[in-house]
Amino acid sequence: MTRVYRWEVLKLLAQKRTYLGLGAAMLVPLIFVVVLIFRSGGPNDIPLGRSIRETGLATPFVVLFFMSIWAFPLITALVSGDIVAAESHNGTLKTILTRSRNRGEIYAAKVLAAFTYTVLVIAAMGLVGVVAASIEWGFNDLTSLSGTTVSAWHGLGLLAASLAIYAWPMAGIAAFGLFLSTVTRNSASAVVGTLLWALLMQLLGVLPGTESIRPYLLGEQFQAWHGFLRTPADWTPVVRALWVCAFYVGVPLAAGYLVFLRRDVAGE
């Protein structure tokens, strides 16, 4: 299994689209810092926006706020929507399915590789953001949304926790991308379909009349990390995200697995 997973990662590393998403995740916080160096003012009306020049720790939170809505879903979809469909397109699925590995093992390795990529791009954004911004504005204490001050290291812990809890709904997006990639066998359809799914989940959340189901929509979980910015931490959205996203991860993965296990590999 480790070997199959390793090759899935190596295949990702050999493809341009991998670097497109990873590069974007690293470039956005850099551009953000550079723009704020040369321009006064800032994103005052978003969480931690006012603290942007007080500590380098605020930048990754603010960038996450912007990227959480569609940039990260898009980056996630780029890889997860392609990871099975590209093999169908290249005809390599039949190559790897006629070796000594069962279909379940191949599928599991692809799931793990797609999740690894999702976690990696989110972590890369956080790391580049905190390093670049700290060089300019220092690694100082952070003022939480409740107005209390937390130490820089505590703030770093909150950033790690925020990125981790944000990665969980992104795993839901990746799972849906894998499902579409398996079912459609077409990379473009799977990527676009996954992005539309992410946007639909957020759109449903702002429509009137959806209040009762809103807490259970995937889009709502994109903001669960805001709970960590309060003192003491508000665990309600975090805990809800944990179990709601388990559903959004589990169902498409299971459906994709069943399709992958039984599908005919023909004419591809």
- The residue (of 41 and 267) whose beta carbon lies closer to other proteins is 267
Q: How far is the CB of 100 from other proteins (least distance, A)?
A: 5
- The residue (of 92 and 210) whose beta carbon lies closer to other proteins is 92
Q: How far is the CB of 182 from other proteins (least distance, A)?
A: 15
Token readout for 162 is: 């925020």
Q: How far is the CB of 266 from other proteins (least distance, A)?
A: 5
Q: How far is the CB of 94 from other proteins (least distance, A)?
A: 5
- The residue (of 112 and 265) whose beta carbon lies closer to other proteins is 265
Tell me the residue length of the chain: 268
- The residue (of 95 and 210) whose beta carbon lies closer to other proteins is 95
- The residue (of 206 and 266) whose beta carbon lies closer to other proteins is 266
Angle between helices 103-137 and 152-184 (to 10 degrees): 150
- The residue (of 15 and 146) whose beta carbon lies closer to other proteins is 15
Q: How far is the CB of 179 from other proteins (least distance, A)?
A: 20
Angle between helices 58-67 and 103-137 (to 10 degrees): 130
d(C-alpha 130, C-alpha 133), whole Å: 5
- The residue (of 185 and 226) whose beta carbon lies closer to other proteins is 185
DSSP category for residue 91: T
143-152, Cβ contacts within 8 angstroms, sequence gap of 24 or more: 143/48, 143/51, 143/54, 144/229, 144/230, 144/231, 145/47, 145/48, 145/226, 145/229, 145/230, 146/230, 146/231, 148/231, 150/231, 152/55, 152/57
Q: Are 170 and 72 in contact (CB under 8 A)?
A: yes
Q: Are 204 and 210 in contact (CB under 8 A)?
A: yes
Q: How far is the CB of 183 from other proteins (least distance, A)?
A: 17
Distance of CA 68 to the CA centre of its chain: 8
Return residues touching other proteins (CB under 8 A).
3-4, 6-7, 10-11, 14-15, 90-92, 94-103, 262, 264-267
In degrees and rounded to multiples of 5, residue 46 shows phi and psi of -125, 160
d(C-alpha 192, C-alpha 14), whole Å: 22
